[in-house]
Amino acid sequence: MTTAVPPASALLDKLRGPGPLILPSMLLCDFANLQREAERLSEAGFQALHLDVMDGVFVPNLSYGLSVVKSLRRVTPLPLDVHLMIANPAQYIEAFRDAGADVITFHAEATSDHAAVLEQIRRTGAAAGIVLNPDTPVSDIAAVVELCDLALVMSVQAGFGGQAFRPEALEKFQHFRQLAQARPDLILEIDGGINRETAAQAWRAGAQWLVVGSGIFAHDDYAAAHQALLAACST
């Protein structure tokens, strides 16, 4: 029987609020000025960062790895929500926790033993989440929802920023809510094509954490982009 460390509930509770949490996706940011970007995002009121790790194997794109996570950890106090778009995630969980990840999510499609990886993440003290690409049904991970602190629903196929929102992803939130009746504290996150138009749909469907890439980084004024996204959800 594994004695999993209690989930990072203190951090997650701190991030809970009446409205959505908007997390900038650190994929389309200015990597030549990463510290400045993190400072600007914090000044714009964002309370956590979403880091898109891509290995070129699980997804047909390469982004960054442990060294960038470690660098960001050194220059920002903001919680780091690390989205692993990598094959064989179990091989890297402790390394990403040591690099500074506060939340670690991995793709259901990248491994067969979901429970083992979720418990592995929780043993490090990080919050544990599982990610579903658009074509992966919620039923694929129903058996392990009680081991999740968070579930991430992709509204684009993982691998690239700037793609078109796929509204059929919203149907999964209803299913998660049914599954998570015993887990009202389960955090539901959405990622991909979230902007001022689609944020309201996602929030109304039940997404609490909204990951936004081009909907922030296509604008010079990050604070205005943040306020516009929050306002879109309050209508």
Of 37, 55, 81, 191, the one binding ligand DX5 by CB under 6 A: 191
CB–CB of 142/180 below 8 Å?
Answer: no
Q: CA triplet 186, 62, 27: central angle to 5 degrees?
A: 55
CB of 111 to ligand DX5, least distance (A): 17
* CA nearest neighbour of 212 among 156, 149, 173, 128: 156
24 binds ligand DX5 per the rule CB under 6 A? no
CB of 90 to ligand DX5, least distance (A): 20
156 binds ligand DX5 per the rule CB under 6 A? yes
User: Among residues 50 and 122, whose Cβ is nearest to ligand DX5?
Assistant: 50
194 binds ligand DX5 per the rule CB under 6 A? yes
| Residue 104 partner contact from Zn ion, ligand DX5, none using kind-dependent CB cut-offs of 5 to 8 Å | none
62-91 positions binding ligand DX5, by CB under 6 A: 83, 85
User: Among residues 129 and 193, whose Cβ is nearest to ligand DX5?
Assistant: 193
CB of 30 to Zn ion, least distance (A): 18
30 burial level (CB within 10 Å; 0-12, 13-18, 19+)? exposed
DSSP state of 135: T
Of 21, 37, 52, 79, the one binding Zn ion by CB under 5 A: 52
Measured between alpha carbons, how far is 212 from 234 in angstroms, rounded to an integer?
A: 17
At residue 137, what is the residue type? Answer: P
Kindly report the backbone phi and psi dihedral angles of residue 26, in degrees, each rounded to the nearest multiple of 5, phi listed first.
-80, 70
Say whether 81 is catalytic. no
At residue 104, what is the residue type? Answer: I
Say whether 185 is catalytic. no
Measured between alpha carbons, how far is 17 from 208 in angstroms, rounded to an integer?
A: 9
CB of 164 to ligand DX5, least distance (A): 9
Mind telling me the catalytic residues?
Answer: 52, 191
